[in-house]
Chain A
Amino acid sequence: MPGLPLPDPRWADVPLALASLGLALWLTLTRRDRAAVIGFTGYGLLVGLVWVRLGSVDVALTEAALGGGLMGLLLLIAVRRLGDGTALSPPPALLTRLLVGLLCLAVTLGLAAVVLGLPSPAPSLVEAVAQHQALTELGNPVAAVLIAFRAVDTLLESVVLALAVIVLWSFGADRAWGLRPRALDIGPPSSALLLLGRLLPPVGLIVGVHLFWTGADHPGGPFQGGAVLAAMAALVWLTRLGEPPPVDDWLTRLGIVVGPLLFLVIGLSGVVVADAFLGYPEAFTKPLILLIETAKTLSIAVALALLVAGPPELPGSMSTGQPATTESRVTG
């Protein structure tokens, strides 16, 4: 609004910076596991806001969806397995604390040295991207980098997710193989959660698909969209309105690999029809990108949801409660 003496908008960053630092400090100091996990979830949202202020809305969305949402859920499940979350965990030994502190200090100093030592202006590929972005017919430069200019990184990322599911499943007991994951099966849901489980998934489906679709020209993309879709699946499983599929369900397995597989096949065919691995023939660039991104969104959603759902388990193994609290606390 012209004519108004508005303060410098950067003042808005001061409370944000103070809140991030304060919360980070409290998270480090607290010994209440569950409170720390809830605080960490809030911290993910704060970091998301920091990314918004830095102008990286794509990163902000990813941080909020993965770092804040799904990660928080994973950690909450872990805390639940370790104990009832109300008791204090024992203080670590002094030597451990010193070592951890030194390590953290070294990481912080290293990061500070790297960031502060950057030449000014910092080396940047922004111009190169802006120059060639039109070739991909994508309006969002982040999407162009992820799916075209640095496609090999994105391919590896999507493969890593599939591998993570395999690793997680291999933690299941032999006798439980072929059964359903049950980490989210934590007893009958409260009526409020049930209401949420009934009303939210339709909205989340639209938001997730929208995030993926709009990612071509605006912030968003397969990871952000897939994370929202996975969260909706987790909500449905948490409220017992649905069950995670058994691990030997071939459709689920297909869902996990279809994204990386399609990406790899199209990338390999690029050796023949275009001039390089992961190169797209010029006439079909946009359709091929759309095809890969669609499959990738599906695979990311399936893989993230299954990562939250945990390894296959025998019925009743979760509801029997809280195994070996003290031992797992000490070792964990």
Chain B
Amino acid sequence: MSLANAFTMVFVSLGALAFFASWVGLLRFPDALSRLHALSKADNLGLGLVVVGLLPQASWPFGVLKLVALWLVSVLIGGATGQMLAGVIHANAGQISDDRETRPDTGAKSAARANPETAS
């Protein structure tokens, strides 16, 4: 196994680990803002690690530049939409009482999403 392939395997695996960690955070974190934080980490760190890992496999120069550009755009959009979502959550916090049930304090995401519908 060549050095480049080993490098790719290590970094892509690390990226996958970061994605997995943020997925756990998305399921387990208590409130919406923390979950958003976990999700932003996946975009930035996980994708960044995967992109770094794939760099030795990409063609020079355009393949490499495209991968880096992809990561930069993803960071920009992930950061901006995260800010917007957080703004909406902040604005709604405490204002609408029944909104609470869309983001309950504990429990898995799927169960939390399904509950308000099936209960009614």
B-binding segment of A188-196, A244-252, A262-270, A276-284: A188-196
The answer to whether B76 touches A199 (Cβ under 8 A) is: yes
Task: Looking at the assembled complex, report how far the CB atom of A240 sits from the nearest CB atom of chain B, in whole angstroms.
Answer: 15
Q: Quick check: B117 and A196 within 8 Å, CB to CB? A: no
The distance from the CB of A327 to the nearest CB of chain B, in whole angstroms, is 21
Asked if A29 and B114 make an inter-chain contact with CB atoms under 8 angstroms apart, the answer reads yes
Given the known A-B contacts A26-B113, A86-B96, are A192 and B102 also in contact in the complex, defined by CB atoms under 8 Å?
A: no
Q: A86 and B77 in contact (CB under 8 A), knowing A1-B1, A30-B113, A190-B83?
A: no
User: How many Å lie between the Cα of A32 and that of B103 in the bound state?
Assistant: 13
Asked whether any CB of chain B lies closer than 8 Å to the CB of A22, the reply is yes
Query: Is B3 interfacial (CB-CB < 8 Å)?
Result: no
**Distance in Å from the Cβ of B112 to the closest Cβ of chain A?**
11
Instruction: Give the interface centre of B79, B80, B87, B113 by most chain A CB atoms within 10 Å.
Output: B80
Measured between beta carbons, the chain A residues less than 8 angstroms from B105 are none
Given known pairs A31-B117, A88-B120, the reply for A193 and B1 (CB within 8 Å) is: no
Asked if B5 and A1 sit within 8 Å, CB to CB, the answer is yes
A271 at interface by CB-CB < 8 Å: no
8 Å CB contacts to A: which residues of B1-24? 1, 5, 9
Chain A neighbourhood of B102, CB < 8 A: 32, 35
Task: Determine the distance from Cα of A32 to Cα of B110 in the docked complex, in whole angstroms.
Answer: 15
Pick the residue among A26, A91, A196 that contacts B80 (CB under 8 A).
A196
| Chain B residues with CB below 8 A from A22, complex form | 110
Does residue A3 face the partner (Cβ distance < 8 Å to B)? yes
From residue 62 to 95 of chain A, which have CB atoms closer than 8 A to chain B? 86-88, 91
Category for how many chain B residues contact A:
20 to 34
Min distance, Cβ A92 to any Cβ of chain B, angstroms? 13
- How near does chain A come to B83, taking the closest CB pair, in angstroms? 3
Could you say which residues of chain B place their CB within 8 Å of the CB of A291?
none
The reply on B65 being an interface residue by CB < 8 A is no
Chain B's closest residue to A26 (CB) is B113
How many angstroms between the C-alpha atoms of A86 and B9 in the bound complex?
44
Q: Are B73 and A203 in contact (CB under 8 A)?
A: yes
A200 on the B face (CB < 8 A): yes
Query: Is B58 an interface position by the 8 A CB rule?
Result: no
Cβ 8 A contact of B117, one of A4, A29, A87:
A29
Instruction: State in angstroms the CA–CA spacing of A31 and B9 once bound together.
Output: 43
Q: Indicate if B99 sits at the interface (CB-CB under 8 A).
A: yes
Minimum-distance CB pairs A-B, first 3: A192-B83, A196-B80, A192-B80
Q: Which residues of B come within 8 Å of A, CB atoms?
A: 1, 5, 9, 69, 73, 76-77, 79-84, 87, 92, 96, 98-99, 102, 110, 113-114, 116-118, 120
Seen from chain A, the residues whose Cβ lies within 8 Å of a Cβ on chain B are 1, 3-4, 22, 26, 29-32, 35, 86-88, 91, 190-193, 195-196, 199-200, 203
19 CB contacts below 8 A, A to B, read A1-B9, A3-B1, A26-B113, A29-B118, A31-B117, A32-B102, A32-B116, A88-B116, A190-B83, A190-B84, A190-B87, A191-B83, A192-B84, A192-B87, A193-B80, A193-B84, A196-B80, A199-B76, A200-B76
